[in-house]
């Protein structure tokens, strides 16, 4: 099976350099959803060298700037899924920059904590009682 991030259609490229490529997500969570992908095939963050990690981290700023100029979001969620247990489905490391828009969900509090839905709202009465008991 070929890796979808090792051969990318040029129409999806937002920007690139010697170490990373930024591509528009084929199945965007929101308008402007961008992926930062290392050029070298590596499955996980822990498989990347320090130079690649630094390039990915730096690309977040550029990615947010490109998204902001083009789509004018009100905020961002930034992160990655590492390994199957965390939801990774393409095993070529990639970092998501997901633009967020005012009122795109009823209550955005908790942000990425929603990956485990019943633990997202750490301020809820149910969660507080659970910690006390």
**CA gap 65, 54 in Å, rounded:** 18
8-state DSSP, 6? T
Task: Decide if 94 is catalytic.
Answer: yes
Distances (CA, A) of 94 to 33, 128, 129: 12, 35, 37
**CA gap 70, 73 in Å, rounded:** 9
**CA gap 100, 78 in Å, rounded:** 10
Which one of the listed residues 33, 41, 92, 94 is annotated catalytic?
94
Residues known to be catalytic = 94
């Amino acid at each position: 099976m070929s890796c979808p991030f090792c051969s990318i259609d040029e129409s999806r490229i937002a920007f690139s350099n010697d170490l990373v490529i930024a591509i528009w997500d084929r199945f965007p969570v929101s308008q402007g959803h961008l992926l930062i992908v290392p050029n070298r095939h590596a499955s996980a963050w822990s498989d990347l060298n320090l130079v690649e990690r630094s390039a990915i981290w730096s690309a977040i700023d550029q990615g947010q700037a490109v998204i902001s100029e083009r789509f004018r979001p009100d905020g961002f969620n930034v992160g990655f899924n590492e390994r199957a247990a965390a939801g990774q489905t393409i095993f070529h490391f990639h970092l998501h920059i997901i633009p967020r828009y005012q009122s795109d969900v009823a209550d955005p509090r908790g942000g990425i904590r929603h990956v485990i839905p019943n633990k997202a709202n750490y301020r809820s009465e149910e969660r507080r009682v659970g910690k006390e008991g």
